[in-house]
């Protein structure tokens, strides 16, 4: 076995280390491409995550989970972007937002470079809801204009599994809440300021009793779809759906964020990683089927 290939194998299998593009040499990548054509691109954001989580939470989650997938599958992870469309969080300092068309074009040019080198199976592991529209358009563009095949394996796709619904109330835990805090407590506990965590005071333009939302949506599920379009929108829309308009501290949850724990975070990450790794191993078996 060539020395360089041994190095790549040692990274991914023997030492159980993830393969990260920026940590490899061009020779390492050349050897990898002799037998592999897959790459995972994590998508996150730089945006407010309440008073207790860092602005880079979505990126750290996307990158951290992608690296764990790499440990199990030996697929290269290529973190290419730190910012996203986060206009609705701009009411809180530190948030960075880019237009969806800007992000799409940037990522398409990055992916085009990878395709030129021989990567043919492009997987986006997204962990920021604001990236969904970009991801969908990007995947369509790659699949319809290049020789590669792109898939969504994170948020916005159907591959990723999560813990059972009864584990915790996910529907009312949308941003920087119990679930997301627990994941970061598992992946990067040193970045979490739990002493600053506090449950938000929520006020929505369409209801004065947020805790009755579940009852409302159970009676009329269609209303949940309408509600999805009312929150997480820029202040300029006048809908009262920007973060700072309906959340006192930027957290979107009706759960108790103070109950966040690394054990729940690990459960969620393990289920996601295992389900995606299973899909990747099956795709590998397809050979040249892109």
CB 276 within 8 A of CB 125: yes
Distance separating alpha carbons of residues 246 and 90, to the nearest angstrom: 13
pLDDT band at 287 (very low <50, low <70, confident <90, very high): low
Please report where in the chains the tokens 């959340």 appear, as a residue. Answer: 247
Helices (H), 74-131: 100-117
Distance separating alpha carbons of residues 146 and 41, to the nearest angstrom: 17
| pLDDT tens string 79-126 | 999 999 999 999 999 999 999 999 999 999 999 999 999 999 999 999
Global model pTM greater than 0.85: yes
Distance separating alpha carbons of residues 101 and 83, to the nearest angstrom: 13
Mean pLDDT for all residues in the chain: 92
Give the number of other Cβ atoms within 10 Å of residue 254's Cβ.
18
Average pLDDT rounded to a whole number, residues 189-212: 90
**97 SS3 class:** strand
| pLDDT tens string 273-282 | 999 999 999 9
Angle at 240 (CA atoms; ends 230, 249), nearest 5 degrees: 105
DSSP output for 193-235: -GGG--PPPB-BTTBS-GGGHHHHHHH-HHHHHHHHTTSS--G
Question: Which of 72-86, 168-182, 189-203 shows the lowest mean pLDDT across its residues?
Answer: 168-182
Distance separating alpha carbons of residues 220 and 230, to the nearest angstrom: 16
Please report where in the chains the tokens 């941003």 appear, as a residue. Answer: 175
CB 113 within 8 A of CB 29: no
| pLDDT tens string 38-62 | 999 999 999 999 999 999 999 999 9
Tokens of 99: 């237009």
pLDDT band at 211 (very low <50, low <70, confident <90, very high): confident
pLDDT band at 221 (very low <50, low <70, confident <90, very high): confident
Pairing label, strands 76-77, 252-253: unpaired
| pLDDT tens string 139-174 | 999 999 999 999 999 999 999 999 998 898 887 899
Walk me through the domains of the chain, giving residue ranges and CATH numbers.
3-163+270-285 (3.40.50.10310), 167-174+196-259 (no CATH)
Give the number of other Cβ atoms within 10 Å of residue 47's Cβ.
29
């Amino acid at each position: 076995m060539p020395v360089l290939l041994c190095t790549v194998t040692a990274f991914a299998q023997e030492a159980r280390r993830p393969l990260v593009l920026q940590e490899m040499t061009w020779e390492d990548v050349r050897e990898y491409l002799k037998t592999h054509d897959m790459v995972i691109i994590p998508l996150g954001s730089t945006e407010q995550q309440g008073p207790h989580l860092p602005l880079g939470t979505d990126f750290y989650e996307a990158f951290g989970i992608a690296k764990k997938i790499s440990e199990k599958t030996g697929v290269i992870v290529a973190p290419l972007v730190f910012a996203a469309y986060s206009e609705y969080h701009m009411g809180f300092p530190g948030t960075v937002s880019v237009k969806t068309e800007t992000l799409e074009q940037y990522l398409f040019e990055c992916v085009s470079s990878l395709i030129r080198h021989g990567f043919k199976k492009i997987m986006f592991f997204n962990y920021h809801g604001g990236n969904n529209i970009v991801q969908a358009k990007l995947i369509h563009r790659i699949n319809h204009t290049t020789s590669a095949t792109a898939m969504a394996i994170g948020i916005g796709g159907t591959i990723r599994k999560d813990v059972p619904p009864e584990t915790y109330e996910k529907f009312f835990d949308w941003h920087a809440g119990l679930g997301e805090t627990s994941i970061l407590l598992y992946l990067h506990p040193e970045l979490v300021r739990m002493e600053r965590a506090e449950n938000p005071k929520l006020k929505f333009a369409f209801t004065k009793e947020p805790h009755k939302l579940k009852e409302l949506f159970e009676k009329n599920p269609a209303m949940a779809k309408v509600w999805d379009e009312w929150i997480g929108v820029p202040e300029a829309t006048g809908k009262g759906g920007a973060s700072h308009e309906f959340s006192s501290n930027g957290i979107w949850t009706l759960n108790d964020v103070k109950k966040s724990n690394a054990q729940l975070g690990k459960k969620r990450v393990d289920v996601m990683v295992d389900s995606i790794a299973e899909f990747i191993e099956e795709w590998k078996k397809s050979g040249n089927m892109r």
